[in-house]
């Protein structure tokens, strides 16, 4: 790995870590991650995909460089779409147009995708999804490339967890605000009712 590429990897890792620790919205952080990874890899695109609660499907959560038609090509089966990555090991596909581990080979060909690197995303020892790199040319991913993507995938998992906690915090805040508003309204109505039945002074 060249010095310039190594510096690029370090820079992206620092930027991703800083973004996660910032006040930016969760969606903006996740999009920044996939865009930066695709660019530093010189790849066509990058995506973060989460497992559904059932563990049967993968859902695109943040995407860069892929067309809407490819993203919406159909349900992504966890058992049919590079399933080995969900067992904990990075998997590199040299030719996605013919490899049987790819669920939508024809769609990959139309999209111009040739090689794919799929890396598991882990949070507290549990695999929650994958990060994937897509290239337009046949590519052997070096160990350094894989280590870099694994590191970003771990940070991506933390970003997704922060997004979940952010959503819960916002929801709880809205619930509390609604409760306070309803409580205040109820007190106002009760006070008006008391005043309406209170005996008037002569």
pLDDT digits (tens, 9 = 90+) for 120-136: 998 888 899 999 999 99
71/129 Cα distance (integer angstroms): 16
pLDDT of residue 169: 65
The helix/strand/coil state of 76 is: strand
Residue 48 C-alpha from the chain's centroid? 4
Give every CB contact of residue 176 below 8 A, 6+ residues apart in sequence: none
pLDDT at residue 182, as a whole number: 58
Provide mean pLDDT across the span 81-95: 93
Smallest CA-to-CA distance from 84 within 60, 118, 51, 135 is with 118
The tens digit of pLDDT for each residue in 21-56 reads 776 777 888 888 899 899 989 999 999 998 988 889
Domains of the chain with CATH codes: 3-168 (3.30.450.40)
Give the pLDDT confidence score for residue 109 in this predicted structure. 96
Query: What mean pLDDT is reported for the chain?
Result: 82
Q: What would the pLDDT profile of 90-103 be if each residue is shown by its tens digit? A: 999 999 999 999 99
Region 184-196: mean pLDDT is 57
Whole-number pLDDT of residue 1:
54
Q: Between 74 and 191, where is the model more confident?
A: 74
List beta partners, residue 91: 118
- Would you tell me how many other CB atoms lie within 10 Å of the CB of residue 16? 21
């Amino acid at each position: 790995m060249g010095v310039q590429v190594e510096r690029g990897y370090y820079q992206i890792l620092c930027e991703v870590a800083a973004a996660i620790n910032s006040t930016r919205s969760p969606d903006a952080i996740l999009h920044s991650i996939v865009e930066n990874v695709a660019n530093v890899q010189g790849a066509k695109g990058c995506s973060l995909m989460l497992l559904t609660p059932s563990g049967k499907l993968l859902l695109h959560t943040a995407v860069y460089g892929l067309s809407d038609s490819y993203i919406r090509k159909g349900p992504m089966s966890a058992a049919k779409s590079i399933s080995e990555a969900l067992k904990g090991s990075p998997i590199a596909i040299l030719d996605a147009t013919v490899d049987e581990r790819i669920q939508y080979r024809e769609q990959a060909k139309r999209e111009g995708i040739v090689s794919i690197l799929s890396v598991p995303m882990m949070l507290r020892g549990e695999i929650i999804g994958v990060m994937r790199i897509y290239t337009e040319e046949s590519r052997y991913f070096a160990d350094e490339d894989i280590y870099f993507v694994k590191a970003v995938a771990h940070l991506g998992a933390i970003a997704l967890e922060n997004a979940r906690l952010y959503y819960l915090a916002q929801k709880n805040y809205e619930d509390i605000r609604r409760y306070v508003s309803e409580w205040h309204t109820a007190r106002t109505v009760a006070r008006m009712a008391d005043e309406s039945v209170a005996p008037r002074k002569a």
